[in-house]
Amino acid sequence: MHQSTETHRTLKELSPAELAASRVRLDAHFRGRQVDEALLHRAWQTAYRVASMLYEDFGATRVAVFGSLAEREWFSSRSDIDIAVWGISDSAYLKAAYDVYYFSSEFKVDLVDFDRCKGRFRERIQSQIIGIEKGEIYHMDRRPLIQRIFDERAKIGNTVQKINARLQKIVTAPPEYREETEIAIAKNLADCYQGIENIFKRIALDVDVDMPQGERWHKQLLEQMAAPKAERPPVISKKTFARLQELLEFRFVYIYAEELDYKRTLENARLASEVFDSVSEELQRFIAWLENVELRRAQPTDGACCSDSFYRDKANQNHLASGYLG
């Protein structure tokens, strides 16, 4: 059997020329990788909200992003968000670092005090930083979210039509086919809630930047959609919340119970159209709110907040402010 004679060397063992060539290949690899635009948007939205907290709650004089988020092609789902801060007192820094670390349920966020950084690490931060000014707002393009709501809502509507058709069919179905039809209806009901929950998850991630975690996340997400947030009005009303809570409980029973409650299945199925109409109407109001926000913010027509031009503009701002860093 042929055995490879190639040996693996550490970075310290590479010559300067080999190290430079390796960096070029690695850079080409990342620049050729497709960027997850939605993930990038959420990461920047998180960074801006962290910056706002540092300015308002801890008296920061300057906040900036560095690391993989500052290099558009390098950021991935496994990346951290690295934040550099200036002007926070020693007594407040540990509390700020703690709040930043637990700020996001989706991203790991790390905070460093720039004035405490030394040597090459300090130089790396200086070469990468993208500043976030006090009061600066991140304008996130909401059109992908709006389209996602439209698409998911259409799928739910098709499933509700299947439920209604099977409710008519079950009236005249022979006894030997009735159970099969009821099981199909139960699955349709579970799929309906899954579709609604998919919409709520996107809103939680893209607007709230706060996705519940843990065993109770399904119920907590539903509660979150019924509550007003600093970023938005309630997505659903209390009445719709109560109806969806019943559907969530039914979905839980459908997934985990050994036997299906056919009476409860048909009761929920007969209300499916009414629940869907309520959810659809309230989602339409939420979409109108999103569109109104976009108009007030005068969002650029290309919606490319994380585009190459966004990074170039930020890099130019950093160059102008480079004298401040020392």
Q: Of all residues in the chain, what percent are helix, strand and coil, respectively (each to 5)?
A: 65, 5, 25
Q: pLDDT at position 73, please?
A: 81
At residue 289, does pLDDT exceed 60?
A: yes
* CATH level 3 topology of 37-140+302-325: Beta Polymerase; domain 2 (3.30.460)
Distance CA(288)–CA(117), nearest Å, equals 46
Tens digits of residue pLDDT in 209-228: 889 988 999 999 999 999 99
Helices (H) and strands (E) in the chain, counts: 12, 4
Q: Which of 199, 193, 209, 190 is nearest to 151 (CA)?
A: 199
Tens digits of residue pLDDT in 13-56: 677 777 667 666 655 554 545 667 878 888 998 999 999 999 99
Q: How confident is the model at residue 317 (pLDDT cuts 50, 70, 90)?
A: low
| Token pair in block for residue 194 | 């899954």
Q: What does the buried/exposed string (b/e) look like for 88-123 if buried means 16 or more CB atoms within 10 Å of the residue's CB?
A: beeeebeebbebbeebbbbbebebbebeeeeeeebe
Alpha carbon of 150 to those of 163, 204, 235: distances in Å? 20, 16, 15
Q: 187, 212 in Cβ contact below 8 A?
A: no
At residue 314, does pLDDT exceed 70?
A: no
Q: Which of 5-9, 113-117, 176-180, 275-279 is predicted least confidently?
A: 5-9
- Residue 76: CB partners within 8 Å, gap ≥ 6? 36, 39, 68
Q: pLDDT at position 304, please?
A: 45
Q: How confident is the model at residue 152 (pLDDT cuts 50, 70, 90)?
A: very high
Q: 139, 303 in Cβ contact below 8 A?
A: no
Distance CA(236)–CA(18), nearest Å, equals 59
| Token pair in block for residue 162 | 């299947």
Q: Which of 73-87, 128-142, 242-256 is predicted least confidently?
A: 128-142
* DSSP assigned state of 232: B
Between 3.40.50, 1.10.490, 2.120.10, 1.20.120, what CATH number should domain 143-297 receive?
A: 1.20.120
Helix extents (H) in 271-307: 272-297
| Token pair in block for residue 170 | 């079950």
* pTM > 0.75: yes or no: no
Report which of residues 260 and 47 the model is more confident about. 47
- Radius of gyration of the chain, Cα coordinates, nearest whole angstrom: 26
The domain ranges of the chain are: 37-140+302-325, 143-297
Distance CA(217)–CA(202), nearest Å, equals 14
Mean pLDDT across the stretch 163-190?
89
Distance CA(275)–CA(321), nearest Å, equals 54
Helix (H, G, I), strand (E, B) or coil at 146: helix
Helix extents (H) in 136-216: 143-172, 175-203
Q: Kindly compute the dihedral angle of the four CA atoms of residues 91, 96, 102, 108, in this order, to the nearest 10 degrees.
A: -120
Q: Do domains 37-140+302-325 and 143-297 have the same CATH topology?
A: no
